[in-house]
A and B are shown apart, each in its own frame.
Chain A
């Protein structure tokens, strides 16, 4: 039977090392299957988060050969099996144990976003064309692969100032909602630090749900921030006519 070699991160907190494992492979096997095999045979204490094994719960995010991926969606036949496959936890978040990370910072950021607030006298009728645009953002499964790969968080650790792509997607879904009456542009610029994003599109590259994070969420939000804070003509018109 064909075998694959793995180097799996083991350890608690900031302490850890890569440990070698060899796993027999079958057709259609994914990285999560291999982690389960290791749990069953060599290391029952290997910590791996998972739930649906169908790329819908977003629990099994990890870095496979250095790229953020869902382990349940990463097939072994995509790799050169003559070399070991490296499996590590998400780099942008503190490691709890082995491949399990503490992602609670994301939930704290999420709580700060103003929720959906209907406009006054909303008649609750929406056009399908308006719904279609925000529907894409509802596909997010909160795997945090985008947060993990974003260099603003990963390399520069600007967590207090920068919310990250996942939450720009959420804000975009709210800001573009045809019935929402809240304005989040000030928070987007000042508290969530959208200006730190330099459009390198890594979030889009790694999104397992194929959400066009940069083109459809971040850039439209950046443009709305420009409307309010950087466009001299619009600022002049607002000061002349007092329109918000």
Chain B
């Protein structure tokens, strides 16, 4: 068998992005970067608008619960959005997504990281990732308001009805609920913190949450898309661009 020396050792100093991988390893972080970036830009723009967030019985999830107070001179969305933003920023799934896509540390498995020095989540500011459970509590409180908005979305001037907007708000709140229920911190608080489940019911709840947790990425992306779409739907209806169709 012929042999031929073709390359120097792997032990040379490596630079960012260096890898022996031959697949499209850059595609996943690129798609994440585009998806997350698009949402962040849209959500920031929508929050700054401060108008077109209500239409008929519908309220945009970016503005729910609607808090209008004299002393606050900015968009009411900013009184709310820091909670879901913090929840998603400290989420164990999104951490993977943005560490790979934006911090490039590493962009993909087996691909050289960008940063030379590394402290992980042991130092400021990333040590604050550890308060994820508190954002979970905040996001859970917001869910009560969002479900209340869904109930209101069935009420068309005192009559029961279902519009496309009702379906959109229901789907949005359902997906956000599943995203919260599949949270790693919730899984820990429900039973992950215990070494032994003395109560069988507690174990059943833990198992259900673990089952949802396996699909946390799915709930994270679908709920992200849907919450943006729900705002867009209400906004375009309020602006008169779209007409809300009554189904019932």
Contact = CB atoms under 8 A, between A and B. Distances in A.
Contacts of A178: 195-196
B92 A20 contact: no
Contacts of B22: 65-66, 80, 83, 86
Contacts of B118: 152, 155-156, 158, 196
B96 A67 contact: no
A130 B196 contact: yes
A205 to B, nearest CB: 5
Contacts of B126: 198
B7 A17 contact: yes
Interface string B185-200: 1011000110111001
B73 interface: no
Contacts of B110: 63, 66-68, 149, 154, 202
B1 interface: yes
A130 B195 contact: yes
B120 A152 contact: yes
Contact of B1 (A9, A22, A91): A22
A15 B9 contact: yes
Interface string A196-235: 1111111001100000101100011011101100110000
B88 interface: no
Interface stretch (A36-44, A47-55, A109-117): A36-44
B109 A223 contact: no
Nearest to A68: B110
Contact of B6 (A20, A91, A219): A20
B216 to A, nearest CB: 8
Contacts of B200: 129
Contacts of A18: 5-7
Contacts, number: 161
A89 B185 CA distance: 37
Given A20-B2, A43-B1, A155-B106, A127 B196 contact: yes
The majority secondary structure among interface residues of chain A is mixed
Given A66-B20, A83-B22, A155-B106, A19 B96 contact: no
Interface in A4-58: 7, 9, 11, 14-22, 38, 41-43
Given A42-B1, A156-B118, A7 B6 contact: yes
A170 interface: no
Interface in A98-142: 126-127, 129-130
A198 B126 CA distance: 9
B54 to A, nearest CB: 36
B131 A199 contact: no
Contact of A199 (B2, B95, B192): B95
A204 B8 CA distance: 31
A197 B130 CA distance: 12
A222 B127 CA distance: 12
Contact of B109 (A205, A212, A222): A205
A215 B213 contact: yes
Contacts of B9: 9, 11, 14-17
Contact of B105 (A86, A126, A151, A193): A151
Given A156-B113, A230-B131, A22 B184 contact: no
A195 interface: yes
A36 B214 CA distance: 39
Nearest to A225: B130
B113 A151 contact: yes
B21 to A, nearest CB: 4
B195 A176 contact: yes
Given A42-B3, A88-B10, A197 B196 contact: no
Closest 6 A/B residue pairs (Cβ) = A42-B1, A66-B20, A196-B120, A66-B21, A202-B109, A195-B122
Interface of A: 7, 9, 11, 14-22, 38, 41-43, 63, 65-68, 80, 83, 86, 88-89, 91, 95, 126-127, 129-130, 149, 151-152, 154-156, 158, 175-178, 180, 193, 195-202, 205-206, 212, 214-215, 219-220, 222-224, 226-227, 230-231
